[in-house]
């Protein structure tokens, strides 16, 4: 019966049915099980605008360079507070329409940063719009393509009162006399990006990162021996430089300079620390700064502040983690 060498029928049937069986075991059944997840209580569905932005995200195939998965390993700590879990994808991974399936937002390449938590990490609308128009306006070394077709070039006199004008530096303009105005599409896409935030987990300790043996040892010995701060230069580069730039000069019309800033150079670091902890939105000529209290530890904030106070011609005393701790407590008391 199973003479595969002579019987083409049994050969084809066996090859087909065994493969189908294996496929059901390894793909179809697990897939059915995986789609039976429920959303976390803290999650909300995408708003209509965010959903429109999400459609652009997929159409421009952003997933070919940006992942949205925080793996359960320590190096992915940079991209989220906890490893991703199936529920995180409840609202975004749904069939899009008759023609298009549930989008592959987990991704397979990290040519650009992971976006799981980008709404928290990079919350300013202004920054996103600038970055979308031409990423090199805010990150000099970026290789991401610009999306100028999501923006309009308008003459000064044609600008309507509710137009969102983007402060693109003159050197990036094709027609220096014109202004760049975000289209609805750009605003939608940014709304989606701003919505990307890891939802909070109920309870705790269930999804801790797998810690690095090496790193743990290193931090223990450091704090015991010298009380050294983490690397302020690296922290500044990954947390602050996207807006304030690596040279501390900021971006005119969008992000204030730190070099020569009175607040940064103040003998008393209190205002600087408060801005980092609480965010800042009092100067209309600049974009909004997000609060970092939940994202950075006292040591990290002290390291960043120290870096800012000792570079680009700034010259102010270092900041200690104890000082940050004090101010954090103070803010909490004020709130209560």
For other proteins, the binding residues in 276-305 under the rule CB under 8 A are none
Q: Does 45 bind other proteins (CB under 8 A)?
A: no
- For 158, phi and psi rounded to 5 degrees? -85, 0
Q: Is there binding between residue 220 and other proteins (CB under 8 A)?
A: no
Q: Does the protein bind other proteins through residue 330 (CB under 8 A)?
A: no
Q: How far apart are CA 36 and CA 34, in angstroms?
A: 5
* 38 close to 88: Cβ distance less than 8 angstroms: no
Sign of CA dihedral 17, 23, 28, 29: positive
Task: For residue 175, state whether it binds other proteins (rule: CB under 8 A).
Answer: no
- Restricting to residues 112-131, name those near other proteins by CB under 8 A: 113
**Binding of other proteins at residue 211 (CB under 8 A)?**
yes
- Sorted by sequence, the CB contacts under 8 Å of residue 312 that are 6+ apart come out as 247, 248, 249, 258, 259, 260
Question: Quick check: 69 binds other proteins (CB under 8 A)?
Answer: yes
Q: How far is the CB of 75 from other proteins (least distance, A)?
A: 5
Among 222, 219, 132, which residue's Cα sits nearest to residue 183? 132
Closest separation in Å from C-beta 184 to other proteins: 16
Nearer to other proteins, 26 or 200 (CB): 26
Is residue 99 a contact residue for other proteins (CB under 8 A)? yes
Contact between 136 and other proteins (CB under 8 A)? yes
Residue 61 contacts other proteins per CB under 8 A: yes
Q: Does residue 62 touch other proteins according to CB under 8 A?
A: yes
Nearer to other proteins, 230 or 291 (CB): 230
Closer CB to other proteins, 139 or 316, in the complex: 139
Token pair belonging to 184:
């609805």
From the list 223, 226, 225, the residue with the least C-alpha distance to 297 is 223
Angle of helix 270-278 relative to helix 321-335, nearest 10 degrees, comes to: 60
In the numeric block, which tokens belong to residue 279? 């965010």
């Amino acid at each position: 019966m199973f003479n595969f060498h002579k019987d083409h029928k049994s050969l084809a049937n066996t090859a087909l049915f065994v493969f189908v069986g294996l496929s059901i075991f390894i793909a179809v059944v697990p897939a059915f099980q995986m789609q039976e997840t429920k959303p976390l209580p803290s999650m909300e569905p995408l708003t209509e605008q965010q959903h429109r932005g999400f459609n652009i995200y997929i159409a421009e195939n952003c997933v070919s360079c940006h992942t949205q998965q925080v793996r359960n390993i320590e190096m992915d700590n940079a991209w989220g507070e906890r490893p991703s879990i199936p529920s995180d994808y409840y609202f975004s991974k749904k069939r899009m329409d008759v023609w298009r399936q549930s989008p592959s937002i987990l991704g397979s390449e990290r040519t650009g940063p992971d976006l799981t938590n980008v709404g928290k990490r990079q919350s300013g609308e202004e920054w996103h719009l600038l970055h979308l128009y031409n990423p090199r306006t805010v990150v000099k070394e970026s290789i991401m393509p610009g999306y100028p077709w999501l923006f309009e070039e308008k003459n000064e006199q044609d600008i309507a009162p509710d137009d969102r004008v983007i402060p693109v530096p003159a050197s990036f303009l094709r027609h220096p006399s014109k202004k760049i105005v975000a289209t609805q599409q750009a605003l939608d896409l940014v709304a989606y990006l701003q919505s990307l935030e890891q939802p909070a987990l109920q309870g705790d300790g269930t999804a801790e990162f797998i810690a690095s043996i090496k790193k743990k040892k290193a931090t223990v010995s450091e704090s015991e021996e010298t009380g050294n701060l983490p690397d302020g230069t690296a922290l500044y580069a990954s947390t602050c430089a996207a807006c304030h730039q690596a040279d501390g000069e900021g971006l005119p019309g969008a992000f204030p300079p730190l070099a020569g800033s009175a607040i940064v150079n103040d003998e008393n670091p209190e205002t600087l620390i408060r801005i980092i902890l609480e965010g800042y939105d009092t100067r209309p000529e600049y974009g909004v700064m997000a609060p970092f209290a939940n994202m950075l530890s006292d040591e990290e904030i002290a390291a960043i502040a120290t870096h800012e106070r000792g570079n680009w011609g700034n010259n102010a005393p270092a900041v200690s983690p104890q000082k940050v701790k004090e101010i954090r407590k103070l803010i909490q008391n004020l709130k209560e």
